[in-house]
Amino acid sequence: MECPFVLSANPGTDIWKKPPSTERDNPITKSYAVISLKSLQSATITFSAQYGSPYDQVGFLVRITHKPSSALKWIKGGIEFFENEPVLSVACCDQWADWSTAPLPESAVDGVTKGETALTFSLRRKGSALWVYFDQENGRRIPLREITWLYGLEDQDRWEVEVGAMAARADKDAPEPLQAKFHAFDVKFDNE
């Protein structure tokens, strides 16, 4: 995919699913590829944005769809603006969504918040799990989450994944769109 590119997320955009009835699915995305679940091996994405509204989020989105039904599962990861600072974030939705966060290194918070520092995240298949990592500039890969249910889904041949870049500004009252710049984006699958 040609980089850099920018996604502009209007206020009120989000992807989230919480019982009993919250269901939002309108993030701004740019798809890299739609491939079979079995063939997904890895994805790496580098991005920056100026964060300022609650739940601003930028990173990757993997939509998992079962053919021919409309069953949708998803995984998103990157940075989310939570409690007035950017945090490392991963959310997964099988039936309902769950979310985990981890702090950024203190030295990176200001530059990330202002959009001056680009960050890299990656997905890597390891056996029957998909791992989400925060890739630091020094080459150290920090594991954020192991997702085990993905490759345990029945009918593996009938599941497709759409891997894309994502931006969302969940705050409906934010004064302007969130501008996210994607500096690099690559997806690897079996036939490469």
Angle of CA points 101, 78, 158, to nearest 5°: 105
Taking the complete model, does pTM exceed 0.85, yes or no?
yes
Q: What is the mean pLDDT of residues 21-41?
A: 93
pLDDT band of 192, cuts 50, 70, 90: very low
Q: If you average pLDDT over every residue of the chain, what do you get?
A: 94
Give the mean model confidence (pLDDT) for residues 123-141: 95
Give me the domain span that covers residue 118. Answer: 5-189
Has residue 60 got a pLDDT over 80? yes
Q: How far apart are CA 186 and CA 9, in angstroms?
A: 22
pLDDT the model gives residue 134: 98
pLDDT(49) > 70:
yes
Predicted confidence (pLDDT) at residue 70 exceeds the cutoff of 80? no
Question: What does the pLDDT read at residue 126?
Answer: 95
pLDDT at residue 76 in the model: 98
Q: How confident is the model at residue 7 (pLDDT cuts 50, 70, 90)?
A: very high
pLDDT band at 66 (very low <50, low <70, confident <90, very high): confident
Residue 72: its pLDDT value, please? 83
Percent of the chain with pLDDT over 90: 85
Whether 181 shows a pLDDT value over 70: the answer reads yes
Q: In 20-177, where do the E strands start and end?
A: 22-25, 28-36, 40-49, 56-66, 72-82, 85-93, 97-103, 119-126, 129-135, 141-147, 159-169
Instruction: Tally the domains of the chain.
Output: 1
The per-type count for the chain, helices as H runs and strands as E runs, is 1, 14
- The CATH code of the domain that includes 115 is 2.60.120.200
Average pLDDT over residues 37-43: 94
pLDDT value for 42: 97
The answer to whether the beta carbons of residues 74 and 90 sit under 8 Å apart is no
